[in-house]
A and B are shown apart, each in its own frame.
Chain A
Amino acid sequence: MKETNTDQKSIGAQGHLDENELAQYIEYLRHETDQAPVQLIEHVQTCSFCRAEVMALYDMLDALPDIAEEPSGLETDYRQPSGHRAKTVALRIIRTAAAVAAVVVLSWGVKQLVVNRLHDNRQAAGIKMDSSTLVGSKMNGQPSGTTHGEGKSLIPDSVSFAAAFAPNPGYDNMVEAKYRTDRNPNVVGPGPETELAPGDSLQISWTPNSADVFELVIVDNKGNDIRRVKLGKVSSFSWKIDLNPGLYYWKFTNKEEIWKVGRMIIKPGK
């Protein structure tokens, strides 16, 4: 059983790992120590609170910068002898050069992976960057609607796998927002929990206004513009989804303001 150090600050309620124990357990998990006290391992095995703490701390530690090898600009009594210092400086130069070389090689390798992946994505999605995938039914019968940003990649390369589904609080607030009623084009679109699959259609309709030029903007959950469509003299819009899995928002706007924001989840396919 875990021995609680009652004279030390606990992370949460009594009976959880304190700061020393968390540090010790995390180093065990990172293989920086060969073993941790059995009571720590057994406690984490049975305590979901401490598991969550460990996970959060581990993620945080992964993101931390290295501490400088020597304190910089300090007069200390542990200044190394000059010969040793010269060797340290030389080693630092070599390490820096090696790090730069490694970054160059890694960047080249990543670039190759990304280029191939983009190429595969485009082929897999059967992307046609033209207006044939967009259909609008117009008041006077003439189709209209063009795509913008042709040749633009569908998603930013830097989207994390599951972070593509994380809600954007700013846009979520806008989905719930009420808009003023005068000149409101009464936009109707899919509900906020709509789940679509690649190949499904996004359908939006509204009351057209000859004085207004409307635009539909699709953004990802990080607010990056994915697609912009000038809607012209139409009253509805249908678009066959060709997006990668993730959470997206659509904005129905004119020149001056946003009239409606919608939300849709593109499900992952297998």
Chain B
Amino acid sequence: MQKNDIDIKLLLEDTGRLLVRYQPVIRTIVRNLAFQGYLQKRDISDLIQEVNRKLIERLPKIRERYNYKSQFKTYFSVVIRNLCLEEFRKVKFVAEPQPEIYEQTAAELTSDHLVIVQEYERLCRAIRMFGNEQSAIWIALRCFACLQVTPENFLGFELEPDLDTRIRIAGQVNETAEMQKKDKMEVLSEIFTHLERKPRTADAFRKWSSGRLEELVDLMNGHPPRSAYTVDVLYILIEKAELFENND
């Protein structure tokens, strides 16, 4: 029987056993959130107990609301996390030196290479959430980071340029490598106006790109912050990730 089938069977027939089965997940979620919030370590077991108590109360409603369009583990993890956040809002945070705060971040990361690959995947995932704007964001990022763009980077726009056009545009962007940022924005705003079939001034492009980059930094850092990315560190991350990729 598939894991999801077992979960659903327990959800329908035996919620107590379902909760037992999910104890490792509950503990991990509570600990992760507690560490991020600098909660005193001794309070974590109390919190786990409280979360379990609440889950027992709410399982009938959870069963009712689950729409079966995702794996139960994914859905239930989201529910547990939201329940934990409800509880955390009631608890007073104490800011004291907590050396074990970072043990989660450092755990199992024994190589910069692996870390950079993982962080780069997180960045790709974050950009993917921007849907139609993915291509534009990647081009802007690479251009500001003084990295080369390729003709393939120009797929996914409203206007589907042919290969020759993409080669020409990529060349134009790559020629901006030594330019000041404001000059790069001028070039990019013209190119995007053409590709997106809607006018975009350099100022509008500046506002859009700043907003997107700031949000990417925010997404990579998380709330509360688990990292301290800046835009410059993002550029370095992309550069290093590609270096590793090229060396593989």
**B130: A residues at CB distance < 8 A:** 45, 51
Query: Quick check: A162 and B237 within 8 Å, CB to CB?
Result: yes
- Tell me, yes or no, whether A232 is within 8 Å of chain B by CB: no
Known: A64-B29, A113-B113. A20 touches B125 (CB 8 A): no
Q: What is the 8 Å Cβ interface bit string for chain B, positions 44-85, against chain A (1 contact, 0 not)?
A: 000000000000000000000111011101110111011000
Instruction: Give the residues from 6 to 22 in chain A that come closer than 8 angstroms, CB to CB, to chain B.
Output: 8-9, 11, 19-20, 22
Query: Quick check: B227 and A160 within 8 Å, CB to CB?
Result: yes
Query: Quick check: A268 and B129 within 8 Å, CB to CB?
Result: no
Q: Which of B104, B106, B131 contacts A159 (CB 8 A)?
A: B106
- Tell me, yes or no, whether B178 is within 8 Å of chain A by CB: no
Query: Quick check: A171 and B122 within 8 Å, CB to CB?
Result: no
Query: Quick check: A20 and B70 within 8 Å, CB to CB?
Result: yes
Q: Smallest CB-CB separation from A68: which chain B residue?
A: B21
Q: Besides A55-B122, A163-B106, A166-B225, 18 other CB < 8 A contacts?
A: A9-B82, A19-B79, A20-B67, A33-B70, A44-B131, A48-B215, A55-B126, A55-B129, A57-B78, A59-B222, A60-B77, A71-B21, A157-B110, A160-B105, A162-B228, A163-B227, A170-B95, A171-B97
Query: Quick check: B109 and A158 within 8 Å, CB to CB?
Result: yes
Query: Quick check: B65 and A19 within 8 Å, CB to CB?
Result: yes
Report the minimum CB–CB distance from B15 to chain A (whole Å): 13
**A158: B residues at CB distance < 8 A:** 106-107, 109-110
- Tell me, yes or no, whether A117 is within 8 Å of chain B by CB: yes
* B binding-site residues for A, Cβ under 8 Å: 1, 3, 6-7, 9-10, 17, 20-22, 24-25, 28-29, 32, 38, 65-67, 69-71, 73-75, 77-79, 81-82, 95-99, 102, 104-107, 109-116, 119, 122, 125-126, 128-133, 215, 218-223, 225-230, 232-233, 236-237, 239-240
What are 16 A-B pairs with beta-carbon distances under 8 A?
A: A22-B78, A23-B75, A27-B71, A42-B131, A48-B215, A52-B219, A56-B223, A114-B111, A158-B110, A160-B109, A161-B233, A162-B221, A169-B38, A169-B98, A170-B97, A170-B99
A222 to B99, CA, bound (A): 6
Q: Smallest CB-CB separation from A45: which chain B residue?
A: B131
Residue from A9, A69, A162, A222 with most neighbouring chain B CB atoms (10 Å)? A162
- Tell me, yes or no, whether A231 is within 8 Å of chain B by CB: no
- Tell me, yes or no, whether A58 is within 8 Å of chain B by CB: yes
Q: What is the 8 Å Cβ interface bit string for chain A, positions 86-129, against chain B (1 contact, 0 not)?
A: 00000000000000000000000010011001000000000000
**B98: A residues at CB distance < 8 A:** 169-170
Query: Quick check: A45 and B133 within 8 Å, CB to CB?
Result: yes
**B219: A residues at CB distance < 8 A:** 51-52, 55
A222 to B103, CA, bound (A): 9
Query: Quick check: B129 and A29 within 8 Å, CB to CB?
Result: yes
Report the minimum CB–CB distance from B114 to chain A (whole Å): 7
Q: Smallest CB-CB separation from B93: which chain A residue?
A: A169
A161 to B220, CA, bound (A): 12
Total interface residues on A, CB under 8 Å, equals: 67
Q: Smallest CB-CB separation from B121: which chain A residue?
A: A62
- Tell me, yes or no, whether A140 is within 8 Å of chain B by CB: no
Known: A23-B74, A63-B32, A173-B95. A55 touches B110 (CB 8 A): no
**B128: A residues at CB distance < 8 A:** 29
Query: Quick check: B29 and A161 within 8 Å, CB to CB?
Result: no
Q: What is the 8 Å Cβ interface bit string for chain A, positions 76-91, against chain B (1 contact, 0 not)?
A: 1010100000000000
Residue from A55, A58, A156, A221 with most neighbouring chain B CB atoms (10 Å)? A55
Query: Quick check: A163 and B102 within 8 Å, CB to CB?
Result: yes
Q: Smallest CB-CB separation from B241: which chain A residue?
A: A161
Q: Smallest CB-CB separation from A48: which chain B residue?
A: B215
Known: A23-B78, A27-B74. A165 touches B227 (CB 8 A): yes
**A51: B residues at CB distance < 8 A:** 126, 129-130, 215, 219
Report the minimum CB–CB distance from B6 to chain A (whole Å): 7
Q: Smallest CB-CB separation from A156: which chain B residue?
A: B106
- Tell me, yes or no, whether A61 is within 8 Å of chain B by CB: yes
**B215: A residues at CB distance < 8 A:** 48, 51
Report the minimum CB–CB distance from A51 to chain B (whole Å): 5
**A78: B residues at CB distance < 8 A:** 1, 6, 9
A77 to B128, CA, bound (A): 43
Q: Smallest CB-CB separation from A44: which chain B residue?
A: B129
A197 to B128, CA, bound (A): 34
Q: Which of A26, A29, A65, A110 contacts B24 (CB 8 A)?
A: A65
